[in-house]
Structure 1
Amino acid sequence: MTEKKNVRMLVFLLILTVFLSGCKEQEREEAPKEFVTCIHDGSLEKVSYRIKAKAADAQVKELITALKKDPKEEAASSIFPEKAEIESWKLEKGRLVVSFGKEYANISPQEEVLFRAGFVETMTQLSSVEKVLFLVGEEPLKDREQREVGEMDREDFLENTGLLLQTYQSASLKLYYANKKGDRLEEEQRLVRYSSSSSIEKVILEQLLKREEGDPILPENTKVLGVSVRNQVCYVNLDEEFLKNTYAVDPKITIYGIVNSVIENGKVDRVQISVNGDTNIQYLEKVDLSKPLKADWKLLEKEEE
């Protein structure tokens, strides 16, 4: 009887050991890794990054440098807007104070919120950084209502799938669709409400996929695989459904409906369109997509006098 009890106890201890080992392994897998944030498909995303520096100041400097670089991933870009120039920074007693040039005030609201969230999220992973304070020149950063933003930590930003920030704003977009004949572009004004975590360029592409009256500029089954901005160029990556355009529209009108809409409302002067990451394409054998395209305003339908 005692021998059976000992066997049962041994089996129980073995099962318990395996269970606890599994829990520890799961904890190791779920433990947050070192990272930097980037913008991918219009939202914030963490990218694994190994911090090499040991000293606190050196770690901050290293992460700022890493955040400024574009990731290797397709359709991913640095969180740094062009006008976010850091003039100086100081780390003292868990408080990181970052001073930007006055041009920071001219960053679009959606870019600024994304950048701020990504910067704070990245920096506060360091044990030496508890709070982050942004200055513009020598003055504390203010929001659109001219209220001081103040010190920030990771709790100030809601973390969700893809690190989406659940705040919303409205924008009036001037979009370009094909006219009834499909040979010219016609303007359509649209008021949209969207998450401030999405880039305006991504919102534009989403709007081009739908239209209340008439055909949209993109085939309805087209999927937007990625939208990113680098050096004044918007990179739009679509899936193969884009090549199956069945609408009676001149191919040039389809392409420049995208290009003109993005340039009209976004912060870019050229648009590079790719299909599944490939730019070596002659769209419907008529439009060369191998290089970024500038807007063509001559394609707009002229108003009747």
Structure 2
Amino acid sequence: MKHRLKLKRVVLLELILIMIICMFSGCSKSSKLKKNGEIYLYYTNKDRTKLISKTYNPEGDDTIAQIEEVLNQMNTSAKKKNCITAKPESVEISGYTLYDKTVNIDFSSSYYEMSKVTELLCRSAIVLSITQIKGVDYVIFTVNSQPLVLDGNNEIGSMKAEDFVAGEESNINSFQNLNIVVYYADKDGKNLVSEEYSGVYDANTSVEKLILDKLISGPELSQYQRTIPSNVKLLSVMTKDGICYVNFDDSFMTESTDVSPELEIYSIVNSLCELSYINKVQISINGETNVKFKDSISLEYTFTRNLDIVK
């Protein structure tokens, strides 16, 4: 069954990049002209269709002081023609905290009253501005102290600048149509079943990563089961000479699902082998392959597609 591909972070990237990609190619190049200590503050044009940057030199002595300073500055219209604050005046910041290089910003409930485009621009402007401060790598948004949830059930976690910024060579033509097949477990957890997705994706993100992200996110259909724990972290994925090399953190070994180790492994292998240029899959844990997955399957060798367990 086909579904519209709910791309989660990919959708965020797609929409943000489509709106601001042309502007960012200029910003990337102009960043070389910044003086020591300067950062970019991001605003929007009056039509709220793209981001506009201006240089600013924070005066605060420490990270907390600079965070407060930047947020205050972003609440003040920039002295630029056709430039307004990215955050609407009706959306209030209730507070913020800094812990382990992550800034958690809490907003009033009016945050959810923003249109989709305004919300995306507001969020990207704040993340891009705040993460330039030394000692800040990530930003988390909450609303009334609860995680930010978009599109019904898509919880937005920690965000970094790279989630929003495209490289200098990126352009609108880097977005292409995507059709992928992902294998989950059936309701009984005894066989694999396929789910097909179609949509648009950023060609700068590998299809292999998109497939693995979908496996980690889990199926959309209630009659299917996830095969990979939701908190597994994908460390890297690359394909060379027909072999896809997938590297997970150790939570792939320690966290459990309601399906057999065999289904876990082959949901990955079969999904990736749907791509015409992948024939085999090598799975590693923190870069190591001399381990037994769940004490039953050796990861020392490559895996090929297994259709015997597909319903």
Please indicate the TM-score interval, normalised by the length of the shorter structure.
Answer: 0.3 to 0.5
| Greater radius of gyration (CA) | 1
